[in-house]
Amino acid sequence: MSTDNAVDHDTVPPANKGLLAVAAVLLAIPVIALLWVSSYAKAEPKLGGFPFFIWYQFLWVFLCSGLTYTAYRLVLRARPHRPMTDGRTDGLTGTGRDDLGGDR
């Protein structure tokens, strides 16, 4: 095995800290918005007979899932993928070369 194809599995590639910060802000938005109760502790305006307090919180269910998914995608982009193969196989189970260097 040559050292050119060796993958060091003990090192972590550098992450994009800016994207991770944006993901953290996206995750903090629903927490702050829902902890600030005085901003939505009222009955008016009503939507479909439901007071503002109810439909505002229900709206945050969908907003929170969208923000969480966006943060997840940003974290995936911020932390680059490191290949887990060391060059001896093509990445598929049961193919490539065995530990002794011979073909299967």
Q: Which residues of the chain, if any, have pLDDT below 50?
A: 1
Query: Which residue in 98, 77, 80 sits closest to 1, CA to CA?
Result: 98
Q: Which two tokens stand for residue 22?
A: 């944006």
- Give me the pLDDT at residue 38, please: 87
User: Within 10 Å of residue 70's Cβ, how many Cβ atoms?
Assistant: 14
Going by C-beta distance under 8 Å and a sequence separation of 6 or more, which residues neighbour residue 10? none
Q: Which domain holds residue 45?
A: 17-78
Q: Rounded to an integer, what distance in angstroms lies between the CA atom of residue 76 and that of residue 19?
A: 10
Residue 25 lies in a domain: yes
Residue 39 lies in a domain: yes
Q: Which two tokens stand for residue 28?
A: 């903090």
Q: What single-letter amino acid sits at 98?
A: D
Residue 10 lies in a domain: no
Collapsing DSSP to helix, strand or coil, 65 comes out as helix
Structural domains of the chain, count: 1
Residue 57 lies in a domain: yes
Residue 42 lies in a domain: yes
Residue 28 lies in a domain: yes
Question: Quick check: 15 and 79 in contact, CB under 8 A?
Answer: yes
